[in-house]
Amino acid sequence: MADTRVVEIKNLSKRFDELVVLDNISIDVKEAENLVVFGRSGTGKSVLLKCIIGLLRPDKGEIKINDKNVINIPLKELNEIRKNIGFLFQSGALYDSMNVRENLEFQLIKNTDFTKEEIEHKVHDALKKVSLEQAINKMPSELSGGMRKRIALARSIIAEPKLMLYDEPTTGLDPITSKEISELILNLQKSLNMTSIVVTHDLICANIIADRAIFLKEGHIAYQGNIDDLTSSEDKFLRNFFSEKIIKE
Amino acid sequence: MKIPQIKYLRKPKASDYMYLFFANITGLTVFVIEFFKQLFIPPYEINEVKKHMDELGVKTFPIVSVTGFIIGLVLAMQSQPVLQKFGATDFLPATVSLSVIRELGPVITALIFAGRVSSGIGAELGSMRVTEQIDAMEVSAINPFKYLVVTRVIATTMILPILTIYVIFLALIGGYIAVIITENMSFQYYQNAVIGAVEFGDLIPGVGKTFVFGFIVGIVGAYKGFTTDGGTEGVGRASTTSVVIASLLILVFDLVLVKLSLMLWPTLG
Ligand SMILES: Nc1ncnc2c1ncn2[C@@H]1O[C@H](COP(=O)(O)OP(=O)(O)OP(=O)(O)O)[C@@H](O)[C@H]1O
Ligand SMILES: [Mg+2]
C-alpha cells in the first residue's frame, strides 16, 4: 500500500520574468505520507504548492496526481482532481463576505449532494477539530489572525480530501495551538489515510508530522531526508537554519 | 480564458499607454465572450443574481431618486423661459418628457450607476483577487467567473432599466413641480400633454439602451476587479479605472445606439 505515488513531480521549473523560482525540481510523495517542505522566505515554497494545484502554470516539467497529468488539461478534468485535494492558503483566503459557517459549507453545497443536516454536521465536526465551534456565526473580520488561520484549515479539510497541501498551517499560532494543529494533521493522516505536503518553518510542527522533509534553496532541492538527519546535519547552512543561534565561521 | 496581462508601471511612457489601451480593449472583449459562453451553462446561481439585484437596488435607490427629481425640475426650469419667448409654454410637458425619456433619463442614470456600481464591483472583486479569495474558489473546484462575474453582470443588466424607468417617472414629477411654480397648469393637463407627446415607440430605444449600459457597468467593473494586480493599491486603481472606462463606454455606445435607433425608426427624428 505504502508505495503508490500520489504526487509525482518531474523536472519542474517556474520563473517569473527574470526571476527563476523553481529550477528542475523532482519530488515524489507516497500515499499517506507527510512531506515537509522547508526553505527560507521567498524560495518558492508557495509557488511549488500553487503549481501542484494548478493555480500557476509551470514553464517546464510534469506534475502527476494519482498518475494523472494535471498540466494543460481541460478545466473540467482539473476540477475533478481538485475536488480530492485540500489547499490551505498561507494567507487563509477566507471569503470575507461570508460568515464562518458559509465559508465552510460553500464547497460542500456546490460540489456534493449532501443533505442540509449532513453538511451542518460536517461543519460542526470540522470546527470542533480546530476548537472553534463558538465562532460559527462570526464574520472573518471579527476573527483574530490565528483564528482565521484555523478556520481556513477547517475549510480546507472539510471535504476530507485524499491529498492536502498546507502552506504554513501553524504560522502565527501560539505554541499550544500549534501543537494541537500538528496533532490534527497527524490524525488526519492516520484516520483518512491522507497524503500531505506541508510547507512550514515551525520545527515543532515538523517534528510531530514529518515522515520526510525536503529543503528548497535557490530553486533546487538542496537537502532531503528524514527530519532528524536534517536538523542534526553538520552542514553550515542547515545548522544556521535549525539552531537557535546564527553560527559564524 | 486568456486575458492579456496588465502590469502596473510606475512611470508609463506614451507607448505603454497605447499598450494599456489595447490590452484593456482585448481583455474586455475576451471577458464579454467568456460571459456569453458561461451564461448558459448551469449552475445558474439564481439566488446570487437575486441577492446582487437586491443590493444594487438598495445601494443606488437614494441617489437615483434625487437625481431623477432634479433632472426634471432643472430641465423644466431651463426650458420655460426659452419657450415663453416663443409663446410656446404649452409645449413644456412635451419638451421635458421627450428629453428625459429619450436621452437624459437613460444616460444620466447610467453614468450615476456606473459611478456607484462599477467602482463597487471593481473594488470588491479586486480585493477578492489580491487576498487570494478568487484562487480559493478555484482550488475548491468552484468556477469563480460564473459565481462572481456572471451573476453580477446579469444583475446590473436587469436592474438598470428598472432604475431608469423610475428615474424617468420622478423626472416627470419634478418637471411638473417646476411648471406649476411659473405656469398655471393643472396636473391633469400636464399628464395628458405628456402622454400625448410620448409614443410608446419612444420608450423602446430610450429604455432599451439601458440594458446595454447596465451590461457595460457590470462587465467593466468585473473585468477590472477580476484582473486586479498589485495589492491594495491595485484595488484602488481597479475601482477608479472601472468608473472611467464604464462612463466612456456608456457615452460611446449611446452615440452608436442613438444613431442605430434613428436608422431603425426614422420617424422618431
Ligand atoms: N505571482 C507572482 N508574480 C511574480 N513573482 C512572484 C509571484 N508569486 C511569487 N513570486 C516570487 O516568487 C518567489 C517565491 O515566492 P513564494 O511565495 O513561493 O515564497 P515562499 O517560499 O512561499 O516564501 P514565504 O516563506 O515567505 O512564504 C518570490 O521571490 C516572489 O517574489
Ligand atoms: Mg509562502
Segment A79-119, tens digit of pLDDT = 999 999 999 999 999 999 999 999 999 999 999 999 999 99
A64 three-class SS? strand
Alpha-carbon distance B122 to B109, whole Å? 19
In a domain, B235, yes or no: yes
| Chain B residue nearest residue A159, CA to CA | B140
Phi, psi of B242 (to 5 degrees): -65, -35
- Give the domain range for residue B243: 14-268
Query: Under an 8 A CB cutoff, do B138 and A55 touch?
Result: yes
pLDDT at position B20: 82
* DSSP for residue A219: T
Q: Are B170 and A118 in contact (CB under 8 A)?
A: no
User: Is the minimum distance from the CB of A25 to ligand 1 under 6 angstroms?
Assistant: no
Query: Under an 8 A CB cutoff, do B138 and A95 touch?
Result: no
CB distance from A215 to chain B under 8 Å?
Answer: no
pLDDT at position A222: 85
CB distance from B141 to chain A under 8 Å?
Answer: yes
**Which residues in A lie closer than 8 A to residue B141 (C-beta atoms)?**
79-80, 82-83, 107, 110-111
Q: Are A22 and A12 in contact (CB under 8 A)?
A: yes
**Which residues in B lie closer than 8 A to residue A160 (C-beta atoms)?**
none
pTM for this entry: 0.89
Annotate B93-162 with DSSP letters as a single string.
Answer: HHHHHHHIIIIIHHHHHHHHHIIIIIHHHHHHHHHHHHTTHHHHHHHTT--HIIIIIIHHHHHHHHHHHH
- Residue spans of beta strands (DSSP E) within B190-262: none
Query: Under an 8 A CB cutoff, do A82 and B141 touch?
Result: yes
Query: Under an 8 A CB cutoff, do A110 and B140 touch?
Result: yes
**Closest CB from A91, A94, A111 relative to B141:** A111
In a domain, B3, yes or no: no
**Which residues in B lie closer than 8 A to residue A110 (C-beta atoms)?**
43, 140-142
Number of domains present in the structure of chain B: 1
Contacts of B260 by beta carbon, 8 Å cutoff, 6+ apart: none
Alpha-carbon distance A124 to A149, whole Å? 17
**Closest CB from B132, B133, B140 relative to A107:** B140
Instruction: Indicate which ligand has the atom closest to the C-alpha of A44.
Output: 1
Lowest mean pLDDT, pick from A39-53, B36-50, B127-141, B174-188: B174-188
CB pairs under 8 A between A and B: 51
Query: B111-162, pLDDT tens digit by residue?
Result: 999 999 999 999 999 999 999 999 999 999 999 999 999 999 999 999 999 9
Chain A, 29 to 68: residues with Cβ < 8 Å from chain B are: 50, 53-55
Q: Which of A74, A223, A149, A198 is nearest to B1 (CA)?
A: A74
pLDDT at position B4: 67
Q: How confident is residue A56, by pLDDT bands cut at 50, 70 and 90?
A: very high
pLDDT at position B64: 93
pLDDT at position A27: 92
Gyration radius of chain A's alpha carbons: 18
Structure-derived torsion over alpha carbons of residues B62, B67, B69, B72, reported in degrees to the nearest 10: -160
Given a cut of 90, whether residue B247 has pLDDT beyond it is yes
Q: Are A47 and A21 in contact (CB under 8 A)?
A: yes
Q: Which of B139, B143, B235 to mutate to test the interface with A (most CBs of A within 10 A)?
A: B139
CATH topology for the A1-84+161-222 domain: Rossmann fold (3.40.50)
Provide the pairing of β-strand A19-30 with A195-199. Answer: unpaired
Q: Where are the domains of chain A?
A: 1-84+161-222, 98-147+154-160
Query: A57-66, pLDDT tens digit by residue?
Result: 999 999 999 9
| Amino acid sitting at position A170 | T
Alpha-carbon distance B78 to B70, whole Å? 12
Query: Under an 8 A CB cutoff, do A55 and B133 touch?
Result: no
Phi, psi of A60 (to 5 degrees): -145, 160
**Which residues in A lie closer than 8 A to residue B135 (C-beta atoms)?**
50, 55, 89, 93
Q: Which residue has the cell 494543460?
A: A72
Query: Under an 8 A CB cutoff, do B132 and A91 touch?
Result: yes
Given a cut of 70, whether residue B5 has pLDDT beyond it is no
- Cell numbers for B258, please give them: 442613438
Q: Which of B140, B143, B147 to mutate to test the interface with A (most CBs of A within 10 A)?
A: B140
Query: Under an 8 A CB cutoff, do B132 and A89 touch?
Result: yes
Q: Which residue has the cell 432599466?
A: B161
* Pairwise pLDDT comparison (B147 vs B183), residue with the higher score: B147
pLDDT at position B7: 67
User: Is the minimum distance from the CB of A219 to ligand 1 under 6 angstroms?
Assistant: no
User: Is the minimum distance from the CB of A91 to ligand 1 under 6 angstroms?
Assistant: no
Lowest mean pLDDT, pick from A87-96, B177-186, B234-243: B177-186
